[in-house]
C-alpha cells in the first residue's frame, strides 16, 4: 500500500480531531497556525504521545508548556489551572488519547485499519524524543488564547 501524503490526507484529519477534542472536552476554541513539515519538535515541558499501528504506523503527540498544560487540565476537570497542577500528566495523557482516538476514527473511515496504544506522558525541562523510520512528520501549532500548543503527527515507514 502506498503511503498517503501527510499534507493532503492526514493533516486535515489531525487538525479537525484536535479542534473537536478541545471544543468538546477542554471547552476551548483553538486557532490553527501554519503547519510545518519535518520541523523539529518544539520546546515543551509536557508531552503526551500515542502510537498507532496497522495499515499506517506512527505517533500523535501533544506538546505544551507548563502553563498551557495546567490550563488544559483545569478546563478538562472544571477547576482552576492552579488546582489542576497535580493532574497535568493525567489530563495531557487523556487529551492526547482523545485526539489520537478521534484521528483514528477519521482515518478508518477511509478504509485504513489502526489500533492505538495507551498514552505516555513526559514532563520535565531537559528531554527529547528520537523517532526511527520516519517517512513524514508534520507539526501543527494551535493558539489557545495567548498560549500555544502543538500537535505532531509522525508517519513511519513500514
Over residues 97-109, the mean pLDDT reads 94
Residue 87 domain-assigned? yes
Residue 73 domain-assigned? yes
- In the predicted structure, residue 2 carries a pLDDT above the cut 50: no
- Band (pLDDT 50/70/90 cuts) for residue 3 is very low
Residue 60 domain-assigned? yes
- CA within 13 Å, CB half, 121: 17
By residue range, what is the domain housing residue 71? 6-156
Number of domain units in the chain? 1
- In the predicted structure, residue 52 carries a pLDDT above the cut 50: yes
Residue 1 domain-assigned? no
- In the predicted structure, residue 8 carries a pLDDT above the cut 80: no
| Dist. CA 53–CA 89, nearest whole Å | 23
- In the predicted structure, residue 120 carries a pLDDT above the cut 60: yes
Q: Does pTM surpass 0.85?
A: yes
Residue 83 domain-assigned? yes
Expressed in angstroms, the distance from the first to the final Cα of the chain is 10
Asked whether 138 and 152 are in contact (CB, 8 A), the reply is yes
pLDDT, mean over the chain: 89
Closest among 119, 121, 94 to 24, alpha carbons compared: 94
What CATH number does residue 126 fall under? Answer: 3.40.1550.10
- In the predicted structure, residue 45 carries a pLDDT above the cut 80: yes
pLDDT at res. 38: 79
Give residue for cell 505517533.
59
Over residues 39-50, the mean pLDDT reads 89
pLDDT at res. 90: 97
Residue 149 domain-assigned? yes
Using one digit for the tens of pLDDT, what is the confidence trace for 55-101?
888 999 999 999 999 999 999 999 999 999 999 999 999 999 999 99
Where would I find the H helices in the chain?
A: 11-25, 66-77, 88-108
pLDDT at res. 149: 96
- In the predicted structure, residue 54 carries a pLDDT above the cut 60: yes
Amino acid at each position: 500500500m502506498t503511503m498517503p501524503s501527510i499534507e493532503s490526507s492526514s493533516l486535515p484529519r489531525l487538525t479537525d480531531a484536535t479542534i473537536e477534542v478541545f471544543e468538546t472536552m477542554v471547552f476551548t476554541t483553538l486557532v490553527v497556525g501554519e503547519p510545518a513539515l519535518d520541523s523539529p519538535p518544539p520546546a515543551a515541558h509536557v508531552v503526551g504521545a500515542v502510537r498507532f499501528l496497522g495499515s499506517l504506523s506512527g505517533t500523535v503527540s501533544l506538546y505544551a508548556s507548563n502553563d498551557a498544560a495546567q490550563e488544559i487540565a483545569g478546563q478538562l476537570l472544571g477547576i482552576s489551572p492552579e488546582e489542576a497542577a497535580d493532574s497535568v500528566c493525567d489530563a495531557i495523557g487523556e487529551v492526547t488519547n482523545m485526539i489520537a482516538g478521534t484521528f483514528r476514527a477519521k482515518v478508518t473511515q477511509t478504509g485504513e485499519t489502526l489500533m492505538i496504544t495507551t498514552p505516555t506522558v513526559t514532563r520535565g525541562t531537559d528531554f527529547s524524543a528520537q523517532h526511527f523510520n520516519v517517512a513524514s512528520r508534520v507539526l501543527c501549532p494551535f493558539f489557545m488564547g495567548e498560549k500555544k500548543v502543538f500537535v505532531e503527527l509522525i508517519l513511519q515507514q513500514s
